[in-house]
Chain A
Amino acid sequence: MSALGYYPGCSQSGTAAEYDISTRACLKALGVAMADVPDWTCCGSTPAHTVDHFLAGALAARNLIQAETAGFSRVTTPCPSCLAALKTANHRLADAADPGYRAEVERLLGRAAPGPLEAVSTLQVLYEQVGPQGVKAHVARPLSGLRVACYYGCIMNRPPGLMAFDDPENPVAMDELLTACGAEVVDFPFKTECCGAAFGMPRLDVMRRLSARIIEMAVSVGADCIAVACPLCQMNLDLRRGQVNAAAHTDSRLPVPYFTQLMALALGLPDKDIRLDKLVLPFGPALAAADEREKAREAERAAKAQAKTAAKPSDKETQPCA
C-alpha cells in the first residue's frame, strides 16, 4: 500500500478532538503508517456546498493538491462529511461529461486540478488494511460484556456509487471491528438513519425528533452505548442529549463514544490516547454495566462448572477402575 496521507478535518481539531486522538492512536498501535497532509484547510463541509458547488469543489481540491504535492497517493479522514467532500470533488473533476466544472474549479484554484487521488474513510482503512482478524490479534483488554449499537450515520456508505464501501443499507465494517474487540454488537436497525445532522442549527425540532428515534431504538435493543463514526452525529446524540431528552420526554444517559475510542480501549492504550473524559455523557455506566454482565456470566459459568465437578466424582465412583 502506497503512502497514506491523514486529513483530520476541522471537527477533529476542535469539538471532536477525542476522535482524532483515538484514531491516531489506533492507527499507530495497529501499525498503519500515515502522515498528516501538510497545511490542510477546511474541506468546505455542508456550508460550502449549500452555497456554491464550485467553491466547495475548490476547497476540497486544495486539500487534495496538498496531499498530492506531499507525495501521498491516498488520503484518509475519520470524518464522513470531509470524506464526502473529497470524494465528490474527485468524482466531479474526473467527470469527462462535465468539463465546465473542472475548468471553474481550476480558475478558482489558479492552477491545474489534482490528479485522481483516492480518498477513503479511516474506518475503511482499519477494516481493509488491518481487518477484524488483525485487530483481534492486538486486543489487550477485550470489551467483554459491552453491548454496542454501531451507528454509521447516513453518509458513511451513501450514496453507494460515490462512497463505494460496505453495504449501504446494512453496513458491517464497524460491527466486525468491534466484535473483534470483544464487544457484543447488538442488531441495530437504525445503523444508517439520519440524526438530523446540520439541522441542529436551523431546525432544532427536526434534529431532536430524528436523534430521539435513534437513541430510543438503541435503548430498546439493549445497548450500553452507541458507537459512532461521525463528529456531527456524535454531537447531536451526545452534546445535545439534554435538548433531545426534553423534546422526547425521556431521560436517557446512553453514552456515545467514537468507535475508535472503544478500539483504543480494547487495544489497552493509555487514557490520554482514548480521552473518554471528553464525552458529555459519562462512559463509566456503560463499562459498569458490561462488568456486571460479565461478572454475572462468570458466576453462572462457575456454578455450572461446580455442578459438573460435583457430579463427576460420583460418576467415577460408579465406574469401576479400568
Chain B
Amino acid sequence: MRIGVMVCHCGNNIAATVDVEAVAAAAREFPDVVFATDHMYACSDPGQKTLEQTIRDLKLDGVVVASCSPRMHEVTFRRAVERAGLNRYMFEMANIREHVAWISLDRKRNTQKATDLVRMAVEKLRVDRPLTPKSFDVQKRVLIVGGGVAGIQAALDCADGGLDVVLVERKSSIGGVMSKLDKTFPTVDCAVCVLGPKMVDAGQNPRIALHTCSEVEEVSGYVGNFEVRIKKHSTYVDWTKCTGCGACQEKCPSRKVPDAFNENVSLTTAIGIPFPQAIPKRASINAEYCLKLTKGKCGVCEKICPTGAIAYDMQDEFITEKVGAIIAATGIDLFDHKKCGEYGAGRYPDVVTSLAYERMLSASGPTAGHIKRPSDGTEPKTVVFISCVGSRDRSLNRPYCSGFCCMYTAKQAILTRDHIPDSRAYVFYMDIRANGKGYEEFVRRAQEEYGVEYVRGRVAQVYPQDGKLIVCGADTLLGRQVEVAADLVVLAVGAEAAHGAPELAEKLRISYDAYGFFMESHPKLRPVETNTVGVFLAGACQGPKDIPASVSQASAAAGKVLALLSKDKLESDPQIALVNANRCIGCGKCERTCPFGAIRMRELRDGSQRAEVVETVCQGCGICSVTCPVRAIQLQHFTDSQLLAEVNALCRTWDETTE
C-alpha cells in the first residue's frame, strides 16, 4: 500500500505550537508511507491541487491529512481524494488543531501528540477498505413545524418551488407573535397588514396542507423519508362545516375567559375565533371554560350554529405524514415578567408587558387602539418603559440579549407620544442595541423628534402611591437616583425558547442549548442546518430574532430544502452496521438495543434467525456493534480491526517514548 501524508500549518493556528515539519518528517518513517509533506493551508485551492497531483504522480492508495476537525473539512478532502481517482473512504483525518494546537502551548509535547495522531490515522488507513454509497428515493414533501412569520415564509417559498408542504401550528390560527403586533419597527407600518396577505396565501395555496391546533407527536425515519405522527387537538367544531361567521362567539354565555391572544388584557368567550384575520378563520371551543363541556349544560352554540358544525364529542385525532425534510420554526415565548418582583409585575395591574401594551395599541385589540390603564381605564399621561426585563440578567439565568427589545421599546414610546400627544414617555435602558438597517436612526427619532426621555440605568423598584406608580431607578449618566411618578409601566420582556422546544428537539433528534434554543450545525457557515441531515431551522427557535432576520432565515431554510429535494435520489452513508451472517447467532440483542429500529430479524430456510440491517434507517451509531456478543455486527469504516489498529499504534508509540 502507498500512503501519502499532508500536515497542515493552518496559518499559525497549528504551526505556532506544533512543529509541523517534524511531524511530516516522522510520518515518512511510518509503514507504507511513501510521501509526507507540510502545507500552509491544506484546504486551500493550491493545497487540494497538491494533494490531487501527488496522488496521481505517486500512485497513492490512500491519504492522511493532519489538520483541523473532520467536522470542518472531512467532506472537502474526501472530494479532493475522489477527484484524484481514489475511493473517498481511503482517506483519514488527524485532528491536530482542536485536539492539539489550540489546547496547549507546549510545542514539544504538542509535536509528539500530533505525531501520535498521524501514526494512528496511518495505521487505520492501512486497514481501511473502499466503501460505496447506495442511493434511495425521497419524498418530495416538507414538514414545517410552527406557523409564525418564519414558518409561513418557509411554507410559501417551498410551495413556490414545487414542494408539497405540511404546516403544523399549535394554536388555532397561524400568524405567531407577529400577528399580535400593532406596528413594526423601524418603518412603523401595520404588522397585520404586512402579515395578513401572507397568512391568506398560506391558507389558500393548494400545495400547503394546514394543520392548526396540532402538534408533532413523533418523528421517525431519516432524510428523504421521515414519517411524522401529528396530533390534532380537538376543537369541538367540525371545520369542514364551520364558515367562520362568528355567531357562536356572539351568543356564548361563558364570557369570563382570559383572552390569550390579547395577552389577557381582556376577556373573551369560550368559543370563538382568536382575531379577525385568523387563518383558518374557524371557531374552536376552549374546553376549560365551555359550560357544556365542564358542566354538561348550555349548548347555546350548537343551537345557534347555522351549519351544525358544533361537535362536543369530538376527539383528538392522529395523522401520519411522510416527508423528505423538516423545518423547525417554533419561534419564541416571552419571559414571564412575574419573576421580577421588584417591578411589582403581577401585583400591580398597571405594570404590563410589552406585548400586552402592543395589544392595547392595536386598533383591533381589546381597547380598540386607545391606551387605557388596566386598573381604572383612564388614559395614562406618563408611561415608563423598562428595558431588559429577563434579558442580560444572569441572576434570572437569562444572560443573553434578546436583540429586539430596544427597538420595539423605541417604537412603543413613539406610538405612545403619537396616541397621547400630551404624554411623557421614559425609557430606562442599559445600552441601546440598534444594529439593523435604519434602526439607530429610528431610536434617534424617538429621542429627538418625539422627545422620549431615555434614562440610562436600571430600575430598582416600582411601588404604588396615590394612584401613581413610583418608578425608582438610577441615572448612571448623571450619577444620581431618579424617581418618576408613572401612570403605566411597560416591561420590555425578553425572548425565551418556546415551551416544549427541548421536547420537540428530542423528537427531531437535533441539539438545543442551555436555554432551549435549537442549535445550528455551524454558527457561521451552516446557520440553517442542524446536525440531523434533513432537519432545518427557521426563525427565532434558533435564537431571538426580529422579523427581517426570521424571514431571511426562513427563506434560507426553504432554499436548503428545495436544493435537497431537487434530487430524485439521495445517497446513503455507507458508514453503517453490517451483519456477518456466518457469525450471527440470532440472539436479537441488537434488534432490541437499536435506537432507530434499523435492525430486523430474518428467518433462514432452516428456521434459524439472523439479524439484518435496514441500510436506509441505520444511522451508524455503533450501539449494535458493541452489544453483539459474538462480534457479528461491524460498523463499516469503524470495524474492530480498524479501531484496534489505531489503539495498537498509540500503545506502540507510547512504548517508544517511554523507552
Contact = CB atoms under 8 A, between A and B. Distances in A.
Contacts of A220: 465-466
A168 interface: yes
B464 interface: yes
A24 to B, nearest CB: 33
A169 B464 CA distance: 14
A217 B461 CA distance: 14
A176 to B, nearest CB: 16
B342 A169 contact: yes
B465 A167 contact: no
A contact patch SS: loop
A268 interface: no
Interface string B511-528: 000000000000000000
Contacts of A7: none
A170 interface: yes
B463 A167 contact: no
B31 interface: no
B341 A189 contact: no
B108 interface: no
Nearest to B470: A189
B71 interface: no
B465 A170 contact: no
A167 B464 contact: no
B341 A170 contact: yes
Interface string B453-485: 000000001011110000000000000000000
B464 A168 contact: no
B437 interface: no
B342 A189 contact: no
Nearest to A216: B465
A190 interface: yes
A193 B465 CA distance: 15
Contacts of A170: 341, 347
Nearest to A187: B464
B341 A168 contact: yes
A190 B465 CA distance: 11
Contacts of B464: 189
Interface in A145-182: 167-170
A226 B466 CA distance: 20
A114 B530 CA distance: 52
Nearest to A221: B465
A220 B342 CA distance: 20
A296 to B, nearest CB: 25
Contacts of B463: 189-190, 217
B465 A217 contact: yes
A217 B463 CA distance: 10
B466 to A, nearest CB: 7
Nearest to B462: A189
B395 to A, nearest CB: 9
Interface in A198-237: 217, 220
A162 B344 CA distance: 22
A170 B465 CA distance: 16
Contacts of A193: 461
Contact of B465 (A168, A169, A189): A189
A206 B252 CA distance: 59
A144 B463 CA distance: 27
A167 B341 contact: yes
Nearest to A188: B463
A55 B472 CA distance: 36
A288 B13 CA distance: 82
Contacts of B461: 193
B341 A169 contact: yes
A168 B460 CA distance: 13
A203 to B, nearest CB: 15
Contacts of B344: 189
Contacts of B465: 189, 217, 220
Contacts of A190: 463
A169 B465 CA distance: 17
Interface string B330-363: 0000000000011010010000000000000000
Nearest to B343: A169
A84 B557 CA distance: 55
A167 B465 CA distance: 22
Interface in A216-264: 217, 220
Interface string A16-60: 000000000000000000000000000000000000000000000
Of the listed residues A169, A170, A193, A220, the one surrounded by the most CB atoms of chain B closer than 10 A to its CB is A169
B345 to A, nearest CB: 10
A95 to B, nearest CB: 19
Contacts of A167: 341
Contacts of B341: 167-170
Nearest to A190: B463
A83 to B, nearest CB: 21
B339 to A, nearest CB: 10
Of the listed residues A167, A168, A189, A193, the one surrounded by the most CB atoms of chain B closer than 10 A to its CB is A189
A100 to B, nearest CB: 25
A170 B344 CA distance: 9
Contacts of A189: 344, 463-465
A170 B340 CA distance: 10
B386 to A, nearest CB: 15
A170 B342 CA distance: 8
Nearest to A161: B395
A119 B235 CA distance: 54
A49 to B, nearest CB: 23
A309 to B, nearest CB: 36
Interface string B430-470: 00000000000000000000000000000001011110000
Nearest to B463: A189
Nearest to B465: A220
Contacts of A168: 341
B145 to A, nearest CB: 37
A168 B344 CA distance: 12
A199 B461 CA distance: 22
A217 B341 CA distance: 19
A128 B192 CA distance: 52
B196 to A, nearest CB: 41
12 contacts: A168-B341, A169-B342, A170-B347, A189-B344, A189-B463, A189-B464, A189-B465, A190-B463, A217-B463, A217-B465, A220-B465, A220-B466
Given A170-B341, A217-B463, 14 more contacts: A167-B341, A168-B341, A169-B341, A169-B342, A170-B347, A189-B344, A189-B463, A189-B464, A189-B465, A190-B463, A193-B461, A217-B465, A220-B465, A220-B466
Give the 10 A-B residue pairs with the shortest CB-CB distance, closest first: A169-B341, A189-B463, A169-B342, A170-B341, A167-B341, A189-B464, A220-B465, A170-B347, A190-B463, A168-B341
